[in-house]
Amino acid sequence: MTKTTSAVKAFISTFDCEPLADQNLNNAVKAICCNEQFKDLLLALINSPAFSEELGKEFAAVKAVEGLSACRKLRSCLNLSLSNFFGLLAQLCSSFDDMVGSKFYAFANRIHTSEIKNTKLLDLLLQTSDQEFYQDLAKRLVIENPHAVYPTSNFRESRGFVESTSDDQIIEAVVRSSTFTSVRVIDNCLNHEQLALRDMYVSHGRCICVVDKNVDRYYSEQLEHYFDYHDIKLEKLVYRAMEVDKGIYTVEKMLGDFKNLGVSRNEPVLIVGGGVLADTAGLACALYHRNTPYVMLSTSIVAGIDAGPSPRTCCDVFGYKNLFGAYHPPILSITDRFFFKTLREGWLRHGIIEIIKMAVTKDAELFEYLEQAGADLITTRFATIGCEPEDEINTLSQKNLGAALRSYVPAEYDNMYETHQCRPHAYGHTWSPGFEIEAGLLHGHAVSIGMGFGAYLSYKMNWISEAQFHRIMSLISSFGLSLWHDIMHKKETLWSSQVKILEKRGGNLVAPLPRNEIGQCDYLNSLSQAELYQAIDEYKEICAEYPRNGLGIDPLCSDVGLEDPSTVAHAPKDLETAESSSVTPSLSAV
């Protein structure tokens, strides 16, 4: 089979762009669709192995990764509206040839505002001189590749097979599913010249947006202006997203709002906020229609490099963190560091630990980037305040975000359903869940304590050297993160957490710890109660040698203006007592 990229190149090199300039859109579209090069490309896209690793490598080899997402969506091109189809085709062509891509973008922009924008490509093809060919193709695809002609989701594919006994009393089945998603680092994504969000929503004609109440306070005008500029109706659902709001009642309220707005099964919801909103709104999308796609626009460092692209959506119940949840990744995750400029230093500080954990367990180069940048990442809000483009901290900020995602996303997506527990990104998350809520700690400070303690265990077992151990501790401390909190005196709390983790991890401890070198990890699977208690005492003495006796700067939720998460166990249990969302019309709807 001809490679997909070869088919795209052949189309671009031989296609006559003259029909794109035809002022009669109906004639222009039919002329394009009756072109033999177009037909060849269409078949190549339909037959492309959209979910294969090989397709990704193929695009990477020709330096066209930015067109990969469009290619994968175009496997369902027959079912797409003309607006959606030509928008995606423009993205695909642009990744190979800017000039041809710009011509298709201009043509797609005409389609977006035309009367034929909602016409499905297949319906139009059945009106051309090639209608018999496309009728036969559609019939064949119903049997051979139904995802290509009648998809429920453009981002997922499921297949399976069975074996049964001769009397059909025993049937054994295997079910497989594949999902693709995009993760992008984009600066100033609400600038109307940045088209990532526009391209996602223009063919839908509207955007249903769940936004954090605090974020809306700072960015409401920008958000509304962006969609108004692109003539896309914005429906805002504004939610408070404190840690105490991370309950099932919040998810239920979101589901009700989705129903009131008539969210369709293939309409991506836009989530704009931090980690709490990523968890709760992502879970609401997982539950609604059992699979509603969503776009995550992360406004915090925790969301930007961890919770945002994460497939794990969840909420807290019965005093337990993340007890209810679903595996449901966003179809697009955007990290925009320019949202960080309005964050308190304490919020940035606790988010940076999620970068450090990946550096310690997976990426030595990232560790060095963090050492080079140091606390300037916090004071400059990732080079968004008081910096010039040529400043070194600007480059280091981009490198830290990109490398953090480069390390995190493969670790998460190679084991999306947590079918095994060899998860390097769980470093620091073994004992911290047991004391985070009780101590009222920010998540990042709880994790940093868990990471420091884990590094000590690693050193004690001779998995890492003393120098490596102190290098890890020094990096954590240099950002003002906690190495110690007196909650650690309650040793039974940490033991209880370990017991619960054993249940959660299938009967194994599997605590990821650094081993051999920084940037590598192994898994501790056995630690007795006596060994745990002794290690806590020894670890406290070491922490006392560090600045602030190992204590963090603004480590508590209350230190940065958040409510004490220990109250989550007493959060409202019904919709009437939960804080309501507000539906705000966009400027274009006023």
Contacts of 369 (CB under 8 A, 6+ apart): 359, 396, 399, 400, 403
Beta bridge pairs of residue 313: 326
What is the C-alpha separation between 334 and 198, in angstroms, rounded?
13
Structure tokens of 379? 């004071």
The CATH number given to 182-398 is: 3.40.50.1970
| pLDDT given at position 577 | 36
Rounded to an integer, the average pLDDT of 200-220 is: 96
Q: What is the pLDDT of residue 567?
A: 61
Tokens of 321: 């963190």
pLDDT at 502 over 80: yes
Q: What is the mean pLDDT of residues 439-445?
A: 93
Tell me how crowded residue 333 is: count the other CB atoms within 10 A of its CB: 27
Per-residue pLDDT tens for 351-378? 999 999 999 999 999 999 999 999 999 9
Place of tokens 């099964």: 265
Give the amino acid at 73: K
User: What are the Cα distances from residue 252, in Å, to 255, 405, 535?
Assistant: 5, 31, 43
Decide: 447 and 479 in contact? Cβ < 8 Å: no
583 pLDDT tier (thresholds 50, 70, 90) = very low
pLDDT digits (tens, 9 = 90+) for 100-137: 999 999 999 999 999 999 999 999 999 988 899 999 99
Q: Quote the pTM value.
A: 0.90
Contact (CB, 8 A) for 190 and 407: no
Whether 162 shows a pLDDT value over 70: the answer reads: yes
Residue 458 scores a pLDDT above 70 = yes
Whether residue 420 contacts residue 546, with contact meaning beta carbons closer than 8 Å, is answered with no
Distances from the Cα of 489 to the Cα of 9, 194, 532, angstroms: 64, 51, 12
Higher pLDDT, 565 or 322: 322
Report the chain's mean pLDDT, rounded to a whole number: 91
**pLDDT band at 19; cut points 50, 70, 90:** confident
> Which pLDDT does position 418 carry in this prediction?
87
Q: Looking at 285-388, which runs of residues are DSSP E strands? A: 294-298, 312-317, 320-327, 332-335
Give the Cβ contact number of residue 164 at 10 Å. Answer: 11
User: How many CB atoms are closer than 10 A to CB 301?
Assistant: 34
Kindly report the number of other CB atoms within 10 A of residue 387's CB atom. 16
Q: Please count the other Cβ atoms lying within 10 Å of the Cβ belonging to residue 420.
A: 12
* Residue 560 backbone dihedrals phi, psi, to 5 degrees: -115, 20
Residues 569-576, mean pLDDT to the nearest whole number: 43
Distance between CA atoms of residues 242 and 275, nearest Å: 10
E runs forming strands in 224-327: 233-239, 269-273, 294-298, 312-317, 320-327
Average pLDDT (485-490) is 96
> Average pLDDT for residues 572-590, to the nearest whole number?
37
Helix (H, G, I), strand (E, B) or coil at 406: helix
pLDDT of residue 242: 85
Q: What pLDDT score does 358 carry?
A: 96
Q: pLDDT for 284-334, tens place per residue?
A: 999 999 999 999 999 999 999 999 999 999 998 887 778 899 999 999 999
At 565 the pLDDT is 65
Tokens of 398: 């981009």
In this structure, the dihedral spanned by the alpha carbons of residues 116, 120, 122 and 127, taken in order and rounded to 10 degrees, is -30
What share of the chain has pLDDT > 90, as a percent?
A: 81
Residue 83 contacts residue 201 (beta carbons within 8 Å): no
Give the model confidence (pLDDT) of 71-110 as tens digits: 999 999 999 999 999 999 999 999 999 999 999 999 999 9
Q: How far apart are CA 47 and CA 518, in angstroms?
A: 43
Sequence-distant (≥ 6) Cβ neighbours of residue 76 within 8 angstroms: 147, 148, 149, 151, 154
Residue 553's pLDDT is 96
- Domain boundaries in the chain? 4-149, 182-398, 409-560
The Cα–Cα gap between 311 and 305 comes to 12
| Range 409-560: architecture per CATH | Up-down Bundle (1.20)
pLDDT at 43 over 60: yes
Q: Tokens in use for 338?
A: 């320019």
Predicted pLDDT at 580? 41
Q: Are 57 and 141 in contact (CB under 8 A)?
A: no
Q: Do the Cβ atoms of 295 and 303 come closer than 8 Å?
A: no
Residues 303, 212 contacting (CB under 8 angstroms)? no
